[in-house]
Amino acid sequence: MSDTPHGGFPRFTPAHPPADFGRLVEALRTIQDLAVSTDLPEEQLAAAADQAEKLAAAMAPYVVPEGASPAGRSLELPGRGSLLLMPWTIEKYGPDGVQSTGVFRRYHLGGNAAAHGGTLPLLFDDLFGLIQHGYGRPRSRTAFLHIDYRAVTPLDQQLRVSGHVTKVEGRKTFIEAVLTDLDGKVLAECNSLMVSLLPGQP
């Protein structure tokens, strides 16, 4: 059984993959963007599908357990090398808060050149995990996450998200964060409750 600070989570260590891993992740992100923004003729569509299937087949023999892949553990890469996470770059990390910058890409489109509203909770939730970790709190799960959408969140424009711990009560960590453009215009505000895990709790 794991110790209390990690509940039932295994301990994951940072990964330092070769540069080609970063190239692969960025290429796959671009493919995601193109997959939702192109209308390929039938011949090119078949060729693209063939290439995608060949790549999947080439990678499949190397599947490893959770925590062994560099995805999500590559701290130097945008989004820590995870295709799930927003490809943002951490600029500040510590007990007084976390700040990162990045863009919502075409893949994140909700409509009318704006980011899908459901992508913002993902951005904030990942940020809150980093914030509580930087604050020195034990491994936690999100109990609630409340977002106030203040303005349309644009695609392909550098934005900034920052947040910090506001209060700690036993196993509870309360966090607030804000998403702005680089001129300081508030696009969304969020607050959350993170609850630390009990020993062995998943």
pLDDT band at 146 (very low <50, low <70, confident <90, very high): very high
How high is the pLDDT of residue 1?
Answer: 31
Q: Give, in order, the Cα–Cα distances in Å from 148 to each of 105, 115, 179.
A: 21, 15, 10
How high is the pLDDT of residue 159?
Answer: 98
Please tell me the number of Cα atoms within 13 Å of 183 on its side-chain side. Answer: 2
The CA distance from 171 to 196, in Å, is 5
Does a structural domain hold residue 201? Answer: no
Token couple for 109 = 């489109």
Residue whose tokens read 């209390």: 4
Q: What is the rounded average pLDDT of the residues 192-201?
A: 90
How high is the pLDDT of residue 168?
Answer: 97
Dump pLDDT digits (tens) for 107-144.
999 999 999 999 999 999 999 999 999 999 998 999 99
Does this model's pTM top 0.85?
yes
The CA distance from 43 to 48, in Å, is 9
Dump pLDDT digits (tens) for 72-89.
999 899 999 999 999 999
Specify the pairing of strand 159-169 against strand 172-181: antiparallel
Does a structural domain hold residue 189? Answer: yes
Q: Indicate which CATH number applies to the domain containing 44.
A: 3.10.129.10
Specify the pairing of strand 172-181 against strand 114-115: unpaired
Q: Could you give the dihedral angle defined by the CA atoms of residues 136, 139, 141 and 147, in that order, rounded to the nearest 10 degrees?
A: 30
User: Which residues are bridge partners to 24 per DSSP?
Assistant: none
Does a structural domain hold residue 115? Answer: yes
The CA distance from 188 to 120, in Å, is 8
How high is the pLDDT of residue 3?
Answer: 47
> Which is nearest to 119 in space by CA: 193, 179, 69?
179
Q: What is the rounded average pLDDT of the residues 157-182?
A: 98
Residue type, 131: I
pLDDT band at 11 (very low <50, low <70, confident <90, very high): confident
Count the neighbouring beta carbons within 10 Å of the beta carbon of residue 152: 12
Does a structural domain hold residue 202? Answer: no
Domain count, the chain: 1
> Which is nearest to 140 in space by CA: 152, 149, 131, 153?
131
**Which residues span the domain enclosing 164?**
4-196
